[in-house]
Chains A and B, each alone.
Chain A
């Protein structure tokens, strides 16, 4: 099993249903893994437990069955070796952008001088130079998202978990962010697990697309996307081979959507 940065092995998860005392099965035997530097997109219908997988990789939730391994080590407590980019930017409103991006380094007791250099680099990388002393509520949604990504890149985790990071952004900002993410993740060389419900986004960004079914979720397919990089995120259908890749994903995914449409 060497060569895998992150491995999900037979993951099952039950949640207690409120009130009735019963249990509901959310994830049912999910296995896939990610190689170093790979960009893995996880798609599935809403409520299928995609985000739950990320919580497990971050060690915030222990699976009912199976386990997640990070560099071969089973994750059994908060995994501080990964980075997490949540759905909302979740910058600390009481800290300036500079202080926000600096926090992970402060928490890790990085010396002040080194902190300054790394923070400046991360802020510049996401294009927010000049906004260091702004508070989050002075920044637009897209800028906050950039701040959130800078705050993760700054401590150079080898795995970055992203939970529908661009879901709340408007269409234009979203494409710009996708384009930047493509560059940034390649530069950082980090393995990315990217949860989304947008097939186009998944296909245009990822090296592999993992498709989950409706609850109780099983792994429907794990499809490699061998499109050349860099890819054009603004006009995804113009990428050579995109259509076939999209079709491969869609032909699996459509069954999940048809079921919902029938009701």
Chain B
């Protein structure tokens, strides 16, 4: 038991050296990115015509201009709304559907073949149909994004719930659990690594859904902005739009990472294990 106590003794000093090391690591990982940007800047106009690849300074200037004039703001808001709504609806549907089918073998036998069949359809091919059903506003993009997110989350949750150890479930029943308590204390936490994995994997797919929807037909949004920039031979505009999309993905990944650390802290506890009995 002394081992466990000594773990807490020296953390303050170690914390700083660890932070310093992390900073150095971060600096090193920035390096290839900087090299790429410098090369891009140099090559543009020398190796490749600027009209094809633009250049980092031009893109930066374009981004500044877009925000300064406020031109991009409505596009950002529209795309942001579509992403958030599509993602949330897709995740909610996936978790509920995957959980229900994972818990009930009978439901799974009936519905799994259908889900499988729909899973096989390339969702992008549904874009024109959704435009007809939900119009050219945000509805069709939300639908497309959420259906792409749904299947990923669904399958992860479904297999997560099915993989829950039967013995653990039985044990919890003997301890006094009813079905609702089983859900909260066993099934959901046991499936949470799968749920989180599905949620992380679904982030880029929600962006694909929204952008394909906007490319197909829309009034407003980053997809439309990129589409228009490309049709007016404005590569700086295209890249600016892509960078903004990247921004959405990075923010979403950051939030998902925080959620993951929070919900799955039991998988990688920070303290050292004690040596033995």
Q: Interface residues, chain A, CB within 8 Å of chain B?
A: 58-60, 78-80, 82-84, 86, 88, 90, 92-95, 103-104, 106-108, 130-131, 134-135, 137-140, 142-143, 151, 155, 173, 176
Tell me, yes or no, whether B253 is within 8 Å of chain A by CB: no
> Smallest Cβ distance from B144 to chain A, in angstroms?
35
- With A80-B174, A84-B175, A140-B277 already in contact, 9 other A-B pairs whose C-beta atoms are closer than 8 Å: A60-B173, A78-B174, A80-B175, A94-B190, A94-B192, A94-B266, A107-B175, A135-B266, A140-B276
Tell me, yes or no, whether B273 is within 8 Å of chain A by CB: yes
Docked pose: A83 CA to B173 CA in angstroms: 11
Docked pose: A142 CA to B273 CA in angstroms: 13
Tell me, yes or no, whether B181 is within 8 Å of chain A by CB: yes
Known: A79-B174, A80-B174, A80-B176. A107 touches B181 (CB 8 A): yes
Interface residues of A: mostly helix, strand, loop or mixed? loop
- Cβ contacts under 8 Å, B189 to chain A: 92, 94-95
Tell me, yes or no, whether B126 is within 8 Å of chain A by CB: no
Residue of A84, A92, A94 near B174 (CB, 8 A) is A84
Q: Quick one: closest B residue to A109, CB to CB? A: B176
> Smallest Cβ distance from B219 to chain A, in angstroms?
46
- Cβ contacts under 8 Å, B171 to chain A: 84, 86, 90
Q: Quick one: closest A residue to B193, CB to CB? A: A94
Q: Interface residues, chain B, CB within 8 Å of chain A?
A: 1, 4, 165, 167-168, 170-178, 181, 185-186, 189-190, 192, 266-267, 269, 271-277
Docked pose: A143 CA to B181 CA in angstroms: 26
Q: Quick one: closest B residue to A110, CB to CB? A: B176
Residue of A135, A137, A173 near B277 (CB, 8 A) is A173
- Cβ contacts under 8 Å, A138 to chain B: 269, 271-274
Q: Are A103 and B277 in contact, CB atoms less than 8 angstroms apart? A: no
- Cβ contacts under 8 Å, B192 to chain A: 94
- Cβ contacts under 8 Å, B1 to chain A: 130
Docked pose: A142 CA to B177 CA in angstroms: 26
Docked pose: A212 CA to B249 CA in angstroms: 62
Docked pose: A93 CA to B268 CA in angstroms: 11
- Cβ contacts under 8 Å, B4 to chain A: 130-131
Q: What are 12 A-to-B residue pairs whose CB atoms are below 8 Å?
A: A84-B171, A86-B171, A93-B266, A104-B176, A130-B4, A134-B269, A137-B273, A138-B271, A139-B274, A142-B276, A143-B276, A173-B277
Residue of B168, B175, B185, B269 near A137 (CB, 8 A) is B269
Docked pose: A135 CA to B170 CA in angstroms: 21
Q: Are B177 and A135 in contact, CB atoms less than 8 angstroms apart? A: no
Q: Are B175 and A140 in contact, CB atoms less than 8 angstroms apart? A: no
Q: Quick one: closest B residue to A161, CB to CB? A: B174
Q: Quick one: closest A residue to B188, CB to CB? A: A94
Known: A94-B192, A130-B4. A142 touches B174 (CB 8 A): no
Docked pose: A82 CA to B171 CA in angstroms: 11
Docked pose: A84 CA to B190 CA in angstroms: 20
Q: Are A82 and B186 in contact, CB atoms less than 8 angstroms apart? A: no
Q: Are A107 and B167 in contact, CB atoms less than 8 angstroms apart? A: no
- Cβ contacts under 8 Å, B168 to chain A: 90, 92
Kindly name the residue among B1, B167, B272, B277 whose own CB sees the greatest number of chain A CB atoms within 10 A: B277
Residue of A60, A137, A139 near B170 (CB, 8 A) is A60
- Cβ contacts under 8 Å, A86 to chain B: 167, 171
- Cβ contacts under 8 Å, A104 to chain B: 175-176
Known: A79-B174, A140-B274. A92 touches B167 (CB 8 A): no
> Smallest Cβ distance from A143 to chain B, in angstroms?
6
